[in-house]
Amino acid sequence: MQRVEAPVLTVEADAVRVEARLLAGGIECPDCGGVLAPWGWARRRVLRSVKGVVRVRPRRARCSGCGGSHVLLPVFVLVRRVDLADVIGTALAWKAAGSGARTIAARLGRPVETVRGWLRRFERRAEHVRVYFTVLLVDTGPDPIPPAGSVSRFADAVAAVVGAWKAAVSRWPDVGEVSPWHLAAAVSRGRLLSPSWP
């Protein structure tokens, strides 16, 4: 039996700002465009960063229009991952640059099987990720230049993610305050490594 993932909406990292927007009716339902309102909390999570652990308890919200509920996931989190998006993104970038799973695991202080899992999941979706982020790059950038092809689909997909981030930064400089992997988490609704996305 396949586990169904809860509907997720990616929001900014600042929980206080998210709560204020939610209470003011400033967060839109991604399914119907209705207004989301507070509706409890998701389970607490202890996540790993490069420097230690981060504790989060994502807000749940319910739509006044369609009645659907959503977990408001901070932009630095990927669905069903214990490591932050930047940690996983760093591993993906190192793999694209030619490092192997054992080397990456040692550099990040993570189990080899965990790192292999990230790399395999990304590899399976690499072409879809490449296409999606290349389209985002072209649609976003004021004078877009899609990344040139490289030695692998994996590296092409990573280049597309970084290219889309650069295009977004060139149009909206505030986007530069987040990493390419936060952008990837936001665009994918936290499902960058999930088989259901894109």
For 49-62, how does the pLDDT look when each residue is reduced to its tens digit (9 = 90+)? Answer: 999 999 999 999 99
Domain ranges of the chain: 8-74, 85-187
pLDDT of amino acid 5: 52
Distance CA 185, CA 164 (A): 13
Residue-by-residue pLDDT tens, the chain, 198 positions: 444 455 889 999 999 999 999 999 999 999 999 999 999 999 999 999 999 999 999 999 999 999 999 999 999 999 999 999 999 999 999 999 999 999 999 999 999 999 999 999 999 999 999 999 999 999 988 777 777 777 899 999 999 999 999 999 988 888 778 899 999 999 999 999 998 876
pLDDT at 1: 41
pTM, full prediction: 0.89
Alpha-carbon distance of 114 to 35, in angstroms, equals 38
Strand ranges (DSSP E) for 4-137? 8-11, 36-41, 45-48, 53-56, 59-63, 69-74
